[in-house]
Amino acid sequence: MDTLDTLDTLDTPGTPGTLHTPGTRDGQRTARHLVSVDDLTDGELRRIVRRGAEFSAGTAGRSDALEGLVAGIYFAKTSTRTRTAFSSGALRLGARIIAYGPGDLQLNTGETTEDTGRVLSGMLDVLVARTAGPEAELRGWAAQDRMAVVNAMSAEEHPTQALTDLTTLLRHFGRIEGLRILYVGEGNNTAAALALALTRFPSVHLELRTPPGYGLPAQVAARARAQAEQYGAVLRERHDMDALPAEYDVVYTTRWQTTGTSKPDPDWREVFAPFQVTARLWDGGSRAVFMHDLPAHRGEEVTAEVLDGPQSIAFAQATNKMHSAMAVLEHAAGRTAR
């Protein structure tokens, strides 16, 4: 199915609570930072996903929402998809962009993230930043309320990947509620953001199979479980590939060597080997689609047969990074269509 007919179901709010109430000042919303999925209210999360799906489906119409704005694109680490998605997305929305590479800013000579954010906020409207370092760095950039800071991947979370993934699910299934997702691989920043986003949708069943010692960080798991309980979703995590769920709609994996990280255990490949996604997961006629945040290493986390097979929507998912980035940029600029 490839329909947006049931998009309205996304408007169903989660149970009101204290989990998602981003900062306000004197009752006025300040800069719309997106450092964590948790920075989004339920309404914002659903609007961004729906808008991304509209861009993806070609039903969004022409948007010049960023006309007259300047976006900074700072990538301290390698990126093919996210950097291009936000650059192309900003240009398509009418913004001008300034790109910074890893060697460009005075951060390298010791200027603080707070001072950097403060200075740039007088010149830029939005800053998209991949540090792959601690989230605290991005919070430093975001310690001002004029320039929205968007996390394009930190050590803890990859929130714009999760928004892309939900956009892709919505495009493919026409809904997110009730989907059964089998995530196989490291509990990395992609998994963390996905868990924090998906558990805010009723009846979602997210089953993670993570290698022993490489699971979701305890804090993320606890938070996602609390959300699952609040919103009526289910989150389970095991560290083996036994007793898999009888049915699933999606198999999701991520590469074994997450950008910006290394594994101290020299034998880590032996630990990860049983978690390779192979066609075996489709034995018995499963109709599940395959998703991957990419880049992929065929023969490691997934076989070529699966990644390049008919069940794979990984490359449509990659294209959706740009559509989702456009929705994120509209939100960050405070120029959402509705």
User: How many C-beta neighbours within 10 Å does residue 265 have?
Assistant: 10
Which part of the chain contacts ligand CP (CB under 6 A), choosing from 73-81, 105-113, 218-226, 228-236? 73-81
CB 298 within 8 A of CB 307: yes
Please identify which residue in 81, 171, 175, 209 interacts with ligand CP, judged by CB under 6 A.
Answer: 81
Choose between 60 and 163: whose C-beta lies nearer to ligand CP: 163
CB count, 10 Å around CB of 306? 24
Q: State which of residues 82, 189, 276, 311 lies at the interface with ligand CP (CB under 6 A).
A: 82
Buried-exposed string 312-323: b where 16+ CB fall within 10 A, e elsewhere: bbbeebbebbbb
Tell me how far, at minimum, the Cβ of 324 lies from ligand CP, in Å: 11
- Which of 12, 15, 21, 80 is in the footprint of ligand CP by CB under 6 A? 80
Minimum Å gap between C-beta 308 and ligand CP is: 18
Distance CA 243, CA 237 (A): 12
Task: Please tell me whether residue 167 binds ligand CP under the rule CB under 6 A.
Answer: no
CB of 83 to ligand CP, least distance (A): 6
Kindly indicate which of the ranges 176-184, 219-227, 288-296, 324-332 contains the residues binding ligand CP, using the contact rule CB under 6 A: 288-296
DSSP string, 274-312: GG-B-GGGGTTT---EEEE-S---BTTTB-HHHHTSTTB
88 belongs to the binding site for ligand CP (CB under 6 A) = no
Closest listed residue to residue 209, CA positions, set 178, 257, 234, 244 = 244
Please report how close the Cβ of residue 48 comes to ligand CP at its closest, in angstroms.
17
Q: Which of 36, 56, 63, 79 binds ligand CP (CB under 6 A)?
A: 79
DSSP characters over 144-197: SSSSEEEES--SS--HHHHHHHHHHHHHHHS--TT-EEEEES---HHHHHHHHH
Q: How far is the CB of 81 from ligand CP (least distance, A)?
A: 4
Instruction: Please report whether residue 161 would count as binding ligand CP according to CB under 6 A.
Output: yes
Decide: helix, strand or coil at residue 237: strand
Site mask for ligand CP (CB under 6 A), range 242-271, x = bound: -----------------x------------
* Residue environment code for 6-43, b if the CB has 16+ CB neighbours within 10 A, otherwise e: ebebbeeebeeeebbeeeeeeeeeebbbbbbbbbbbbe
CB of 8 to ligand CP, least distance (A): 29
Q: Pick the closer one to ligand CP by CB: 31 or 73.
A: 73
- Distances, alpha carbon 242 to alpha carbons 208, 269, 302, in Å: 12, 19, 18
Which of the stretches 78-86, 108-116, 199-207, 223-231 binds ligand CP when contact is defined by CB under 6 A? 78-86
Q: Count Cβ neighbours within 10 Å for each residue of 121-143 and write b for 16 or more, e otherwise.
A: beebbbbbbbbbbebebbbbbbb
In DSSP terms, which residues pair with 252 in a beta bridge? 183, 291
Site string for ligand CP, 125-154 (x = CB under 6 A): ----------------------------x-
Of the pair 66, 322, the CB lying nearest ligand CP is at 322
Q: Under rule CB under 6 A, which residues in 289-308 are in contact with ligand CP? A: 293-295
Count of residues that interact with ligand CP, criterion CB under 6 A: 11
Q: Which is nearer to ligand CP, 293 or 330 (CB)?
A: 293
Residues that bind ligand CP (CB under 6 A): 79-83, 153, 161, 259, 293-295
